[in-house]
Structure 1
Amino acid sequence: MDRIAFLDHDTMGADIALRRPAIPHDWVQHGRTAPADIVERARDATILIVNKVPLGAGTLDRLPDLRFVAVAATGTDNVDVAACRARGIAVSNVRAYAVHTVPEHVFALMLALRRSLPAYRQSVAAGAWQDGGQFTLLTHPIRDLHGSTLGIVGRGAIGQAVAGIARAFGMRVLFAGRKGEEAAGGPDHVPFDAVLAESDVLSLHCPLTPATRHLLGEPEFARMARRPLVINTSRGGLIDDMALVRALEGGLISGAAVDATAVEPPPPDHPFLRLAGRTDFLLTPHIGWASAEARQAVADQVTACIEAFAAGRPINLVT
């Protein structure tokens, strides 16, 4: 009989029902697990479910019964996949659950900043509409998405879904080629620097790798000729945080919206927190993925991965 331990169940949210796998098993779950408690809580487990709990080689060495890790996310950077492979531990992830929720979050952020909704909300709360003496208040810029250019870095399923919504709004869509390389692949796939120069909105949808770390830094912000709105709902390390702060404060970009930081939650001295009072900056707490529908899809895939592994037909393997 398998012993299944879910080490950070709170990441799913209390409103999501995780169906228990239809295999003989004992089940234990913990809301959150600190690094010091991992081995004790996972000691006898044959199957682990984790979202962000780290599983390094040293930890894996102390879990001799472990046969399978189900990651309740697409990213598996918290798991030493090579160490799992060397020890015969299979690892699976969940896929394609965020192709609606993340693009919708992107456009919520985009519309809020292009139409200055945070600024107008603040003005109304301060009584500026009443003091203005006319039917409309025109104290902050309002720009349509229709006719503007959206640059997208990342041509995967989420990037493509963002592009589809953008075209429905009447936006021109450009996909960026790899940084430092000439692009190929069609009229909408253009060099990275051209996307920086031509975009009114720039949205990031690529993984964090050594090649994409600090993809946007001071040199890139300086080449953004149209002062675009910059949106990052992917990974925090894609942007040099201080470079973004300086670009916003220096007027190189018209606004920024961020849903992921390199360390989560960000520490009190994080540079983004000094922007908290600005109406041209939005920081959301890594919720782009987190619609109820998407989280339920994650839960269902985790169960399916466990059942498939137990049946000898594993799916979504990353090892």
Structure 2
Amino acid sequence: MSESLKKTARIVVLDRDTLPEDITLRAFSFPHELVAFARTKPEEVAERIRDADIVITNKVPVRREAIGDARNLRLVAIAATGTDVVDVAACAERRIGVTNIRNYAVNTVPEHTFALILALRRSLVAYHDSVRAGRWQETGQFCYFDYPIRDLAGSTLGIIGDGVLGRAVADLGHAFGMKVLFSDYKGTTGMGPLYTPFEQVLRESDVITLHSPLMPSTRNMISTDEFAMMARRPLLINTARGGLVDEIALERALRERQVSGAGFDVVTTEPPPPDHPLMRLLDLPNFILTPHVAWASHEAVQGLADQLVDNIEAFERGQPTNMVAA
């Protein structure tokens, strides 16, 4: 038995409210004390983790200055895939392990992506709102055609990001009879015969969906110049990361009809302030904004919670999994 299993480990959860109430964390098998905070402000992190052996965070930043006095800290377990909330390099210097969650959203994110695509391609929200406003009765006939309706079959789906989620989206696209193009990353060429140049994907796609990480090279990779290339006025879908799209340029592109519509689940600032560019678009019938919930099916979130416990258990056994390199 490792030394860590011989004493009671203090486990501190910094933002329990980022998981739904009906999601349970399986009990840990080793001696432990679990302290869960609903939310934690950045200035509260250092004090709350000071005596922790293990810290669990989803979106609360754990930075170099916060871990400075956390002398017992052995592991930061991220309850998400993205690792940008943790100063991984600082943890590595202190020999503090960092783990993350992987491949838990392989169904929920692609399904949410296609929910947005279908809703926009068939103007479902616009028709629903117009029925609620009494438009059907006004027409005096069995149907009306105020908003465009387009099939997916035979259209072209451009996917930027070829990880497990991008490939799952491609599978759904094929099932709908779509032609699927995987894009080279912006500014790169020659990734192989399965990839189409970035600019060509922008020109030829009827739907463009983003499944890329947010890095310096991908920040604002869709902006004014890229919208100008979109000859087919595609739908633009982002269930990946806020910041991949220049949001001011998106507002202009929608209002000037450079794109047929947009469905976003992520925003650069979450929650967005009332004057955020995407909040100003909510009056448009061809724009849908959901509150970063593409990942949040019950099945996916319970799988995340189970994997989170598995990561911590494996670390305590001395057989760490899903470790993040500095």
Task: Give the TM-score normalised by structure 2.
Answer: 0.96
Offset of residue 269 of structure 1: 1.6
Equivalence for 1:62 = 69
Equivalence for 2:80 = 73
Equivalence for 2:46 = 39
- Give the 5 Å matches for 1:47-58: 47-58=54-65
Output the CA distance in 2 between the equivalents of 1:110 and 1:273.
20
Equivalence for 1:85 = 92
Q: Is the 8 A contact 2:182 2:196 kept in 1?
A: yes
Query: Which residue among 100, 104, 118 is the counterpart of 1:97?
Result: 104
- Give the 5 Å matches for 1:151-162: 151-162=158-169
Offset of residue 126 of structure 1: 1.9
Matched, 1:144 2:145: no
Count how many residue pairs are aligned between Structure 1 and Structure 2: 318
Output the CA distance in 2 between the equivalents of 1:109 and 1:215.
21
Q: Which amino acid aligns with 2:232?
A: R
Q: Is the 8 A contact 1:176 1:183 kept in 2?
A: no
Secondary structure of 1:151's match? strand
Gaps of 5+ in 1: none
Equivalence for 1:231 = 237
Output the CA distance in 1 between the equivalents of 2:288 and 2:82.
24
Output the CA distance in 2 between the equivalents of 1:241 and 1:7.
30
Task: Give the TM-score normalised by structure 1.
Answer: 0.98
Q: Is the 8 A contact 1:183 1:192 kept in 2?
A: no
Output the CA distance in 2 between the equivalents of 1:173 and 1:260.
23
Query: Which residue among 2, 22, 26 is the counterpart of 2:29?
Result: 22
Q: Which amino acid aligns with 1:28?
A: V
Q: Which amino acid aligns with 1:217?
A: S
Output the CA distance in 2 between the equivalents of 1:134 and 1:183.
55
Offset of residue 294 of structure 1: 0.7
Q: In the TM superposition, what whole-angstrom CA distance separates every residue of 1:156-189 from its partner, at most 9, and x where no partner exists? A: 0000000000100000000000212224322x51
Equivalence for 2:308 = 302
- Give the 5 Å matches for 1:254-265: 254-265=260-271
Output the CA distance in 2 between the equivalents of 1:178 and 1:287.
26
Equivalence for 1:201 = 207
Secondary structure of 2:307's match? helix
Query: Which residue among 134, 137, 149 is the counterpart of 1:130?
Result: 137
Offset of residue 42 of structure 1: 1.4
- Give the 5 Å matches for 1:269-284: 269-284=275-290
| Structure 1 runs, 4 residues or longer, greater than 6 Å off | none
Q: Is the 8 A contact 1:196 1:224 kept in 2?
A: yes
For the aligned residue pairs, the C-alpha RMSD in angstroms reads 0.9
